Amino acid sequence: MRVLSGIQPSGKLHIGNYFGAMRQHLQLQSENEGFYFIADYHALTTNPDPKQFNEHILDVAKDYLALGLDPEKTVFWRQSDVPEVTELAWILSCVTPMGLLQRCTSFKDKVEQGLSPVHGLFAYPVLQAADILMFNSNLVPVGQDQKQHIEVTRDIAAKFNNIYGETFVLPKEHILKSVAVVPGIDGRKMSKSYDNTIEIFEPENKVKKKVMRIVTDSTPVEDTKDPEACNIFALLKLAADEGELAEWEQKYRDGGVGYGTVKKRVVELLHEYFRPFRQKREELANNADYVEQVLCNGAAKARAVASETMKRVRDATGLGDVRNA
C-alpha cells in the first residue's frame, strides 16, 4: 500500500502532531510504501515570516528524522521541490464544483481563528487533493477533523475520472480513533493557533511546567472521576502501557487520586518516551547538509512519480497532444 501524508512547517512540532499523525506515519513506513512531504506551499496561506520559514521547514525535517523516519524506506521531500503539484492543482480546480469547497468546514474554522479569507485558504482542499492524487496514494493518515478533506479528494478524483476516464486512484483515510484528537493545555485540541501546545523537543523543565498547567475540573481528590472526560487521562493514554493505564482508570473510578498526581506521572512518561530521540535530534541540529540532501533525494524520487502522473493527466485532458505536436 502507498501511504501519503504532509505536515505544515508552521512552527515547532508538538506532541499533538506526533501522537495524532507522526507516530502513525513512522509505524506505517515499515510495511508500506511511504510518501511524506513538508507542506510549505500550504503553509503560505498563513503568510509566514520569510526569515523563519526555511528554518521551520528544516526543523520539521530534523524532527521526523530524529523520531525514526527512514529515508531508505520512505520518500521524504519538500512540497515546493515538486512543482508539478501546482500544475495538477490548477487542472483539478477546473473540475471542482464551487459548492464542494463551500461546504468545507476548515475554511470557516480558520477564518474564525483570525486567518485572512484569501483564495489560497479557500482552495486549500484542491491543492491537498493534488498532493494525494499525484502519487497514486492508497491510504492517507489523518486526524478525525481532516476526514472531510479526504472525502473531498475522492469527490474531485471521481469527477475528473468521470470526465476524462480512469486516471486517479481513489484514496482512503486512515484514522486511529484513540488518538484522533490530542488535547492541549487549555482543554481544546492541541494546536499552535491556540498557543496550547507541548513541543516534542522543548526542554524537559518546560514540558513539566506546561503539563502542570493543564486545565482540569474541580472534583475533590476523594471523589470518583470520569477518566474519559479528563484531559490529563487523555494524555496518559498516549504514553502509558495498557497495564498501567488500567490501574489509573481504576484509581479514577475508585476516588482518592488527585489530578496533580496524575500530571506528575504524565510528565515522567513524556520524558521517558521522547528522551531516546533527543540525542539524534541534537546531532541533526548540527548537520544541516545531511538533512538537505535527504530532502533533495526524496524530491528526485517524488518528481519521477509526479512526471508519470502528469503525463497521464495531460494526455487525458488533451494537453499532452498539444505538447507532443
| Interval 95-130: pLDDT, tens | 999 999 998 888 888 888 788 888 998 999 999 999
Instruction: Specify the 3-state DSSP secondary structure of 214.
Output: coil
Could you tell me the pLDDT band of residue 47, with boundaries at 50, 70 and 90?
Answer: confident
Residue 180 has pLDDT above 70, yes or no: no
Catalytic annotation, residues: 110, 189, 192
Check pLDDT > 70 for residue 323: no
Q: Is the pLDDT of residue 194 over 80?
A: yes
pLDDT at 137 over 60: yes
Which pairs with CB-CB distance under 8 Å and at least 24 residues apart come from 309-314?
309/84, 309/88, 309/133, 309/134, 309/135, 309/136, 310/84, 310/87, 310/88, 310/134, 312/167, 313/88, 313/91, 313/167
Alpha carbons 277 and 95: distance in angstroms, whole number = 45
Quickly list DSSP for 262-307: HHHHHHHHHHHHHHHHHHHHHHHHT-HHHHHHHHHHHHHHHHHHHH
Q: What is the mean pLDDT of residues 285-294?
A: 95
Longest dimension (CA), the chain: 81
Q: Which helix (H) or strand (E) holds 173?
A: strand 172-174
DSSP reduced 3-state for 6: strand
DSSP 240: S
Phi/psi at 77 (5° precision): -150, 170
* Over residues 34-51, mean pLDDT: 93
Are 294 and 71 in contact by the 8 Å Cβ rule? The answer is: yes
Amino acid at 15: I
Q: Which of 16-20, 27-31, 70-74, 103-107 has the highest mean pLDDT?
A: 70-74
Q: Is 103 helix (H, G, I), strand (E, B) or coil?
A: coil
Its pTM stands at 0.90
pLDDT at 54 over 90: yes
Enumerate domains of the chain plus CATH numbers.
2-181+288-324 (3.40.50.620), 201-282 (1.10.240.10)
Amino acid 10: pLDDT: 87
**How confident is the prediction for the chain on average, in pLDDT?**
93
Contact between 156 and 100 under an 8 Å Cβ cutoff? The reply is: yes
pLDDT-based confidence at 324, cuts 50/70/90? low
Cβ neighbours of 303 (radius 10 Å): 17
Task: Report the pLDDT value the prediction gives residue 56, as an integer from 0 to 100.
Answer: 95
Residue 46 gets which letter from DSSP? G
All three cell numbers of 163: 470526465
